Amino acid sequence: MIPFLDLHAPHVELRDEIDTAIARVVSSGWYILGPEVEAFETEYAAYCGTPHCVGVGNGLDALHLTLRAMDVGVGDEVIVPSNTYIATWLAVSQCGALPVPVEPDTTTHNIDPARIEAAITPRTKVILPVHLYGHPADLDPILAIARRRGLRVLEDGAQAHGARYRGQRLGGHGDAVAWSFYPGKNLGALGDGGAVTTRDATLAERLRMLRNYGSREKYVNEVQGYNSRLDPIQAAVLRVKLAHLDSWNARRRAIAARYLSDLADTPLILPQVPDWAEPAWHLFVVRHARRDELQRALTVAGVGSLIHYPIPPFRQAAYRQTRLAFDACPIADTLAGEVLSLPMGPHLSAEQVTQVAATVRQFA
Is the alpha carbon torsion for 138, 284, 83, 287 positive or negative?
positive
- Say whether residue 156 binds ligand PLP (CB under 6 A): yes
Closest approach of ligand PLP to the CB of residue 145, in Å: 21
Closest approach of ligand PLP to the CB of residue 182, in Å: 4
Q: Under 8 Å CB-to-CB from 251, ≥6 apart: which residues?
A: 346, 347, 348
CB count, 10 Å around CB of 273?
A: 16
Pick the closer one to ligand PLP by CB: 156 or 278.
Answer: 156
The one among 182, 213, 281, 284 contacting ligand PLP by CB under 6 A: 182
Q: What is the rounded distance in angstroms from the CA atom of residue 270 to the CA atom of residue 106?
A: 11
* Segment contacting ligand PLP by CB under 6 A, of 40-48, 72-80, 153-161, 314-322: 153-161
- Say whether residue 85 binds ligand PLP (CB under 6 A): yes
Pick the closer one to ligand PLP by CB: 186 or 359.
Answer: 186
- Say whether residue 180 binds ligand PLP (CB under 6 A): yes
Closest approach of ligand PLP to the CB of residue 98, in Å: 18
List 227's β-bridge partners, or say none.
212
Strand order from edge to edge, sheet including 194-198: 52-56, 194-198, 176-180, 152-156, 124-127, 77-81, 98-102
Pick the closer one to ligand PLP by CB: 100 or 132.
Answer: 132
- Say whether residue 159 binds ligand PLP (CB under 6 A): yes
The one among 104, 134, 188, 194 contacting ligand PLP by CB under 6 A: 194
Closest approach of ligand PLP to the CB of residue 306, in Å: 12
Closest approach of ligand PLP to the CB of residue 231, in Å: 13
Compute CA 2 distance to the chain's CA centroid, rounded to the nearest angstrom.
Answer: 24
Identify the burial level of 94 via C-beta atoms within 10 angstroms of its C-beta, where 0-12 means exposed, 13-18 middle and 19 or more buried. Answer: middle
Q: Is there a contact between 91 and 65 (Cβ–Cβ < 8 Å)?
A: no
* Segment contacting ligand PLP by CB under 6 A, of 38-46, 52-60, 266-274, 314-322: 52-60
Pick the closer one to ligand PLP by CB: 313 or 353.
Answer: 313
- Say whether residue 158 binds ligand PLP (CB under 6 A): yes
Kindly state the helix (H) or strand (E) to which residue 164 belongs, with its residue range.
strand 164-165
- Say whether residue 88 binds ligand PLP (CB under 6 A): yes
How many chain residues interact with ligand PLP (CB under 6 A)?
A: 15
Q: Is there a contact between 7 and 344 (Cβ–Cβ < 8 Å)?
A: no
Residue 230: CA count within 13 A, CB half-sphere? 35
Helix and strand numbers (H, E) in the chain are: 11, 14
- Say whether residue 110 binds ligand PLP (CB under 6 A): no
Pick the closer one to ligand PLP by CB: 40 or 85.
Answer: 85
- Using alpha carbons, select from 283, 323, 246, 289 the residue that is nearest to residue 110: 283
CB count, 10 Å around CB of 351?
A: 9
One-letter amino acid at 107 equals T
Interface of this chain with ligand PLP, residues 313 to 352, rule: CB under 6 A = none
Binding site for ligand PLP (CB under 6 A): 58-60, 84-85, 87-88, 130, 156, 158-159, 180, 182, 192, 194
